[in-house]
Amino acid sequence: MTADIHLAFDHPEARAAATADPKFPDRISLRDHVVEVEIGAFQEERGTRQHICFNIVVEVVPVTGPVDDDVDKILSYDLLTEAIAIELAAERLNLLETLAERVAERILQSPQARRIFVRIEKLDRGPGALGVEIVRSRADMPLRPADVLRDVSVPHPTVVFLSNQAIAGNVSSLIDDLQDLNTPLIFCVGMPDTPVPQSKTPAVQRRVELLAIEQNAWVLAGRDGRCVVVDTRTELDWAAKNGLISVWAPSKIVLDAVDGPDARPSSALELASWFAKEMQAAEFVSAGVEPPQTGALPTRMLRVNE
């Protein structure tokens, strides 16, 4: 029995070589690529950037003809760093495992890529490096569509901000009218009219206000059974594709956003406008209040109870 426990801590290049098939695949690699990013599941990791290190090895299909010094004939090294940058920019993540999976899946979209080793380590969480390593192959890994960041089959929704006046009025009739637009509907709401707890700590107050918005979202869902409160992009996209009406619970998307909104949750209309742009909305509609005129997407106002 061979003793190769050292391979568990060796560079992914050594692990790739040790498990290579007899065809001797070509490989490209990225060594010790360090980036600073906010990541982690613990509360103390929120609002704090830390250094993480990437080591990646990709086994590729050998070029059958002459390379001719043509970059289009090979898998570019830039694909590795671009995959990392794109996945880090997509949303804030809790787990290195999730990040490793997404980076591996994105790189395996390339037809030249055959197998990939991804090792990611946190460098600031202790006296040593804490990390994860995964191995994935194009043959056995189910791949998302080529546009990894967004499913093109998802139609552009109409994002509708409902004032408290609109929620308290004949909201079912308003929904009936909006459904005639024949686009997916996502409703946004603000904080309720009742007072919310106050904190001198901005991060705490932000959480309190986001939770107040979510309470109001559930009030809306209780007014009309067609409205379903959701908090993730996956759920929003799924609802849009299946013709369901969503009510946005903002905490997760706002707190996980890499480039989050400048507006406080108490400025709910501006927050909803930011969300509409994030969702690539076809239109932003506000019911019972004047919409912000950002010029980024079409906007209009619906009057209520008149």
Q: Are 186 and 248 in contact (CB under 8 A)?
A: yes
3-state secondary structure of 221: helix
DSSP secondary structure letter of residue 193: S
Average pLDDT over residues 24-28: 82
What is the 3-state secondary structure of 264-294? CCCCHHHHHHHHHHHCCCCEEEEECCCCCCC
3-state secondary structure of 241: helix
In this prediction, residue 135 carries a pLDDT of 92
How many angstroms separate the CA atoms of 104 and 109, rounded? 9
* 5-137 topology per CATH: GTP Cyclohydrolase I, domain 2 (3.30.1130)
Domain extents in the chain: 5-137, 158-302
Average pLDDT over residues 24-35: 90
CATH of domain 158-302: 3.40.1160.10
State both tokens at 248: 């946005």
pTM here is 0.74
Question: What are the tens digits of pLDDT across the range 44-89?
Answer: 888 899 999 999 999 998 776 665 566 566 778 888 998 999 999 8
In this prediction, residue 138 carries a pLDDT of 86
| % of the chain residues with pLDDT over 90 | 55
How many angstroms separate the CA atoms of 186 and 179, rounded? 11
Cα 82 to the center of its chain, rounded Å:
16
Average pLDDT over residues 243-267: 91
How many angstroms separate the CA atoms of 33 and 90, rounded? 19
Q: For residues 13 and 200, which has the higher predicted lDDT (pLDDT)?
A: 200
How many angstroms separate the CA atoms of 75 and 83, rounded? 13
How many angstroms separate the CA atoms of 43 and 119, rounded? 24
Above 80 in pLDDT, residue 171?
yes
Average pLDDT over residues 194-213: 95
Q: Where are the alpha helices (DSSP H) in 20-162?
A: 78-90, 96-107
**CA distances (Å), origin 13, targets 25, 120, 220, 259, 265:** 12, 14, 55, 34, 47
How many angstroms separate the CA atoms of 211 and 218, rounded? 11
DSSP secondary structure letter of residue 3: -
In this prediction, residue 176 carries a pLDDT of 93
3-state secondary structure of 219: helix
How many angstroms separate the CA atoms of 265 and 261, rounded? 9
In this prediction, residue 149 carries a pLDDT of 44
Q: Where are the alpha helices (DSSP H) in the chain?
A: 12-18, 78-90, 96-107, 164-168, 171-179, 202-223, 233-241, 251-256, 268-278
Above 80 in pLDDT, residue 246?
yes
